[in-house]
Amino acid sequence: MSCNFFTNPFLMKKTILLLLLWFSIPFIIMAQKVELTPFGGFVFAGNMHTDYGEVHLRENAQYGGMISIPISRVMDVDLIYNRSDTKAELSYYTIGNHLRYLDVPLSINYMHVGFTRNFHLNPKVSPFVGFNLGACLFAPKDYPDDWFFSLGLQAGAKIYFSKRVGLRLQAQGMVPVQGAGLSMFIGSGGPSGGVSVYSTLFQFGFNGGLIFRLGKM
């Protein structure tokens, strides 16, 4: 049996990773200080609707790392890699209308560029909110990979123990975009239009990690 579990009308090419890196190069070159944060955490279970049936993704650990480059006193540019190794439980109907179940190991990989807005309460505590976007790779074992455009949100706090070391705690949500649409119409008020995206999966989780600050302080 050969099938692709995850439909993706808004298919992402692998070259998006090179575009993300290219976008980040000017910030890396200009950076006088950088925060490196390896992290680990937990992501809750979620469901995803596809043309092949319902996919249930189990809760599991997540891990990765990020590079934060300050571009002002309150704003950072972030390069993020987030991975979870989980299992996808697929339920679908065969040609004879028989319900079948498959249990497939897979990894979910987010590779994002984003911005973080910091709120400095004092030199040691800094709450933040952030937005990021990029590519998401679903890599099921023994089946073809799928690439999605993806979006992310995060909120939490940085706690600094010294000028060089701190702790980052955050909640985050990740959304692989399954489709997009463009609408245009003309009415009494003139022409109008819009772009919409949709997804049936929202991955919510928590993570934390040590912050290592490099460069000028």
Helices (H) and strands (E) in the chain, counts: 1, 12
Predicted confidence (pLDDT) per residue in 143-198, tens digit: 888 888 899 999 999 999 999 999 999 999 999 887 543 333 343 444 433 334 44
Better-scored residue on pLDDT, 200 or 146: 146
Domain encompassing residue 195: 15-215
Residue 183: inside a domain, yes or no? yes
Lowest model confidence (mean pLDDT) among 28-32, 142-146, 165-169, 203-207? 28-32
Provide the token pair at 13: 């090419």
| Position 169, amino acid | L
Number of domains in the chain: 1
| pTM of the predicted protein model | 0.79
Residue 4: inside a domain, yes or no? no
In the chain, the N- to C-terminal Cα span, in Å, equals 58
DSSP label of 140: E
Q: How far apart are CA 198 and CA 49, in angstroms?
A: 11
DSSP label of 121: S
Residue 5: inside a domain, yes or no? no
Residue 125: inside a domain, yes or no? yes
Residue 1: inside a domain, yes or no? no
Query: What CATH number does residue 66 fall under?
Result: 2.40.160.20
Residue 102: inside a domain, yes or no? yes
Nearby residues of 141 by Cβ (< 8 Å), 6 or more positions away: 104, 105, 106
Predicted confidence (pLDDT) per residue in 133-153, tens digit: 988 988 888 888 888 889 999
pLDDT tier, 27 (very low <50, low <70, confident <90, very high otherwise): low
- Among 216, 203, 211, smallest CA distance to 83 is for 203
Residue 9: inside a domain, yes or no? no
Residue 48: inside a domain, yes or no? yes
The pLDDT of residue 47: 87
Mean pLDDT of 110-129: 94
The pLDDT of residue 115: 93
